[in-house]
């Protein structure tokens, strides 16, 4: 009997994915999902409390992998800058992100551009703030190495840099970039941000 229940749950998730990808969160309906799954709306409520809970469970695997990749990027920040290890890790991260996007492109697009109205609608903003924290920490470390006391890069500048990184990732998700294009763009964007960071620090007389 448990196997049957698991099969029903999986069928609901399968049909929900089709509905959400087609209509995004706001436009999707439990009635349509139930019809596609060959059951009543009431039966869906036996497995999922509401549409938002169903949406979150559908995207839980991809969110979990995003969190794992964030952990990897945190570790990468500790690698000595300019070292061969940093270059190797950067290439590995780029390939990992591209593979992840290829495997989960539709779910990532749904999460980042189609979650409006759900409890996940601020996921992109949370990613931006997370990366802004990483970038700010890197700037502060560079600041401390020079021996300056008061950190004076504006938080809005840091936020806008982080936002541009998020926009770049969404661009890759929404459009079909090849691996070679991703590698080239990632290298050029990285050089752009590194150069910009140096200019920011230089403008503060560092």
| pTM of the predicted model as reported, rounded to 2 decimal places | 0.83
Distance of alpha carbon 128 from its chain centroid, rounded? 9
The per-residue pLDDT for 100 is 87
CB atoms within 10 A of CB 19: 25
The per-residue pLDDT for 127 is 92
Q: Please state the rounded mean pLDDT for residues 123-152.
A: 83
Q: Tokens 């992840």 identify what position?
A: 100
- 3-class DSSP state of 90: helix
With a cut of 90, say whether residue 169 has pLDDT above it. no
When the pLDDT of each residue in the chain is averaged and rounded to a whole number, the result is 86
The enclosing H or E element of 124 equals helix 123-146
The per-residue pLDDT for 1 is 43
Domain ranges of the chain: 60-203
Q: How does pLDDT run across 21-31, given as a tens digit for each residue?
A: 999 999 999 99
């Amino acid at each position: 009997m448990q196997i049957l229940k698991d099969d029903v749950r999986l069928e609901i998730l399968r049909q929900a994915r089709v509905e959400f990808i087609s209509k995004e969160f706001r436009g999707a309906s439990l009635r349509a999902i139930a019809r596609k799954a060959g059951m009543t709306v009431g039966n869906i409520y036996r497995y999922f409390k509401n549409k938002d809970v169903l949406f979150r469970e559908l995207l839980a695997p991809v969110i979990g992998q995003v969190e794992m990749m964030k952990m990897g990027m945190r570790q990468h920040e500790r690698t000595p800058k300019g070292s061969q290890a940093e270059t190797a890790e950067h290439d590995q991260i780029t390939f990992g992100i591209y593979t992840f996007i290829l495997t989960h492109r539709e779910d990532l697009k749904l999460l980042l551009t189609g979650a409006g109205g759900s409890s996940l609608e601020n996921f992109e903003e949370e990613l931006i703030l997370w990366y802004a924290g990483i970038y700010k920490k890197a700037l502060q470390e560079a600041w401390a190495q020079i021996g300056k006391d008061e950190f004076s890069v504006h938080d809005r500048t840091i936020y806008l840099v982080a936002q541009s990184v998020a926009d770049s990732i969404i661009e890759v998700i929404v459009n079909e970039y090849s691996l070679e294009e991703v590698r080239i763009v990632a290298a050029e964007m990285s050089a752009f941000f590194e150069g910009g960071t140096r200019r920011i620090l230089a403008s503060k007389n560092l």
